[in-house]
Chains A and B, each alone.
Chain A
Amino acid sequence: MLIGSADVKILGERSPRIASFASEPLMLSDVACLQLTAEMRNSAREAVLPPALHPTIPPVVSIQVWDVADSPVGAFGFAMCRVSCRSGVRARGFSTAAVASTQAAAQILTERFGFPCVLGEVTLRRHYDGVDAEVMVDGSRTLGIAALDPEPMDLDDVQYTGNLNLAHTPLGLRLAQVEVDHVASRVERLSARLSAFDGEAWGNRLLDPYFVVSASVALETVSIQPIRFVCKPDELAFTGTESVAAAGKT
């Protein structure tokens, strides 16, 4: 059984802090969500995950770029990089890094949900025949995606998995299970290529999404649900999962 081997102490040094768990969902309207999945090489599959998590076979990086038109903190752009994994037998994505385009968005996503956000420029441009996405941080282009030839899909043809965000929480350093509900009104599949990806900027220089599997873009509403469960980062989910409510931390 494959198990993550990343040093939890080192991961914890750059993890955000959740002062108190969100009690209400965060509702985002008129969202365009580009999701790209790409395989990465086996050499890094365990090294990028904490010991609580299992890599998938093959290891996969999942990137999402959001263009949010309306939210309690206004319009913003958001991008995150996740390593697909299993928590117990559940499909999840371990967040390695995220970028938000406004201070208010970065603050709410970090402090309430544990997304490891930094400030940057996030651009998602939709064209008649495709979508382009770009992320700039401190003047460097850390992500570039060019996706072409959209094909309409059924609304539930795209699979989204929940996030595991490593954060310092009222229960200690924990993997916060963040369920993000996507309700789409339009979904398209595209052919995509990664024109830029800076692994170091996305949380680990070992990340190497070398083989793009698929890309999709959805027009949707997104609700980020209150955190109900957390997991100890160095213990398998079968025994290391804790209920936030049971711990009286909601």
Chain B
Amino acid sequence: MKFGIFFELSTPRPFTRDAERAVYHNALEQCRLADELGFDHVWAVEHHFLEEYSHCSAPEVFLTAVAAQTRRVRVGHGAVVCVPEMNHPVRVAERAAALDIISEGRFEFGTARSSTWTELGGFGVNPDDTKKTWDEFVRALPQMWMQDEFEWQGKAFSMPARNVLPKPYQDPHPPMWVTVTSPGTELDAADRGLGCLGVSAAGYDEQERRTLEYHRRIQSCEPVGGLVNDQVHTMNFLYCHEDYRQARDIGVPMVNAFNVANAHLYWTREAYPTRAYQTLGNAGAAMKAKKPPADDPSVAKGLPEGVGVGDPEHLIQVIKRWESIGVTGINFLLNAMEMLPQEQVLDSLRLFAREVMPKFRSPEASKAPVWAPSRVAVKQAAAC
């Protein structure tokens, strides 16, 4: 089981220069501590215009700072929006390669297509096209990283032959992922040999169904890149405290604040009739998450099942359950709207690392390089 931390960089009103600075620098401090404690991944989203919910519009800059301030933890785009109006694919390839070099090969590359009208409308993107452009991006980007002469004739973009530079430090390229909110995207990931990066809180049963199908399907994938990434990560929240009741009293409002801010966004499906968006993004998923039985005293009141809010013993049980259904990593949101003071966030991280992490790995494993797909996986990919 891998443990990561996941940043939206949510920022409460009133928006001030100092408030945004504090959000960014608190997050960097959390990353440095997570690196020391043995966490495996730091992920940062790419979102635009999402007031309060996410002020993380230049994740490559944030992640570069993380890479420069840490030694072991892997840094991940969670994820780059693969539509040409927002990101030209050559610039995506260049930035990713540079970040892989700066991080000494600790970069993870997530891909997405955005699910809000707030963002798509702001960039003048036709929602009908985003799935197609995402597919084109994930096929083109590995070629840019692996070939000395890359040319492309497509719908999202076309270009004559050029050498896209620099090349990533990881050979043949960083592990690739796709963020999964809508049901069925896990199948798109599996078919292409991409890792499954969950960014919404599905319940156990739904996640188990998706994970089983993903693992089955990826056995017969046609990899778009030079390696297969068969990891399944889910997104969760983390607030860990010795006292379960206190954990609940502090953690539940934090989770609710995140969900409320999320609900205020304007979803593409709501704005624009299209076949390309069949669900309301992760807001829809969050609302559908199965609630625990009302008479289960071990589960935080007001939270869907499987949420990482509680005392260490509760979190161990929750993570064991996720592990049992085939999830290989959990990425935690540590705060929302800065509701928790920074010291509480850091204490929660420390307690988790001290009491929970050792139940899933040895101390040595927390210091060893984090596993990532390697050339061996390339051979496996060839056999797919």
B258 nearest CB across to chain A (Å): 11
Given the contacts A57-B49, A86-B264, A159-B269, A39 and B274 also touching, CB distance less than 8 Å? no
Chain B neighbourhood of A56, CB < 8 A: 264-266
- Is B283 interfacial (CB-CB < 8 Å)? yes
Please report which residues of chain B, range 8-45, place their CB below 8 angstroms from some CB of chain A when the two chains form the complex: 12-13
**Interface 1/0 per residue, A23-41 and B, CB below 8 Å:** 0000000000000010100
Contacting A1 at CB < 8 Å: which of B13, B49, B274, B275? Answer: B13
Contacts of A158 on B, CB cut-off 8 Å? 273
Neighbouring A residues of B118 by C-beta, 8 Å: 57-58
Q: Could you tell me if A214 and B273 are in contact, using CB atoms closer than 8 angstroms?
A: yes
Contacts A214-B271, A214-B272, A216-B273 given; indicate if A86 touches B263 (C-beta within 8 A): yes
Q: Is B90 interfacial (CB 8 A cutoff)?
A: no
Q: Which of B49, B260, B265, B271 contacts A37 (CB 8 A)?
A: B271
In this complex, how many residues of chain A approach chain B with their Cβ under 8 Å: the count is 27
Given known A-B contacts A58-B266, A213-B117, A213-B121, A89 and B283 have beta carbons under 8 A apart? yes
Of all chain A residues, the one with the shortest Cβ separation from B263 is A89
A158 to B274, CA, bound (A): 7
Residue among B262, B273, B274, B286 having the largest count of chain A Cβ atoms under 10 Å: B273
With contacts A1-B13, A57-B266, A60-B266 taken as known, whether A89 is within 8 angstroms of B273 at the C-beta atoms is no
**CB pair B261 A1 closer than 8 Å:** yes
Q: Choose from A54, A55, A90, A153 the contact partner of B273 (Cβ within 8 Å).
A: A153
- CB contact under 8 A between A187 and B270, given known A86-B264, A89-B259, A213-B117: no
Nearest opposing residue in chain B for A187, CB measure = B273
Residues of B within 8 Å of A39, CB to CB, are 121
Measured between alpha carbons, how far is A36 from B283 in the docked complex, in Å? 23
Asked if A107 is at the interface (CB within 8 A of a chain B CB), the reply is no
Tier of interface size on chain B? 20 to 34
Contacts of B272 in A (CB 8 A): 37, 213-214
A-B contact count (CB 8 A): 76
Q: Is B51 on the interface with A (CB-CB < 8 A)? A: yes
Which one of A1, A37, A57, A154 has the greatest number of beta carbons of chain B within 10 Å? Answer: A57
Would you call A71 an interface residue if the criterion is a C-beta within 8 Å of the partner chain's C-beta atoms?
A: no
Q: What separation, in Å, do the CA atoms of A56 and B264 have in the docked complex?
A: 5
Determine whether the beta carbon of A84 is less than 8 Å from that of B266: yes
Mostly, the A contact residues are strand
Quick check: A189 and B273 within 8 Å, CB to CB? Answer: yes
Task: Find the residue from A58, A189, A213 having the highest chain B CB count within 10 A.
Answer: A58
Indicate whether A89 sits within 8 Å of B51 (C-beta atoms), given known contacts A58-B121, A58-B266.
Answer: no
Q: Which residues of A contact B262 (CB under 8 A)?
A: 89
Query: What B residues does A55 contact at CB under 8 A?
Result: 264
Whose C-beta in chain A lies nearest to the C-beta of B257?
A1
Contacts of A58 in B (CB 8 A): 49, 117-118, 121, 266
Contact A91–B270 (Cβ < 8 Å): yes
C-alpha gap A157/B268 in the complex (Å): 11
Is A69 engaged at the interface, CB distance under 8 Å to the other chain? no
- The answer to whether residues A57 and B265 also contact, given A1-B260, A89-B260, A213-B117 and a CB cut-off of 8 A, is yes
Contact call B275/A159, Cβ cutoff below 8 A: no
A225 at the interface (CB under 8 A from B): no
Give the residues in chain A near B263, CB-CB below 8 Å. Answer: 54, 86, 88-91
Supply 25 A–B pairs (Cβ within 8 Å), ascending by A. A1-B52, A1-B257, A1-B261, A1-B264, A37-B272, A54-B263, A56-B265, A56-B266, A57-B50, A57-B53, A57-B264, A58-B49, A58-B117, A60-B266, A60-B271, A84-B266, A88-B260, A89-B283, A89-B287, A91-B270, A158-B273, A159-B269, A213-B117, A214-B271, A214-B272
Known: A2-B264, A89-B286, A91-B280. 16 other contacts (CB 8 A): A1-B13, A1-B52, A1-B257, A1-B264, A37-B271, A57-B50, A57-B53, A84-B266, A86-B263, A89-B283, A91-B267, A91-B270, A153-B275, A159-B270, A213-B117, A214-B273
- For the complex of A and B, list the 9 residue pairs with the smallest distance between their C-beta atoms, beginning with the closest: A89-B263, A56-B266, A214-B272, A158-B273, A157-B273, A189-B273, A216-B273, A213-B271, A159-B270
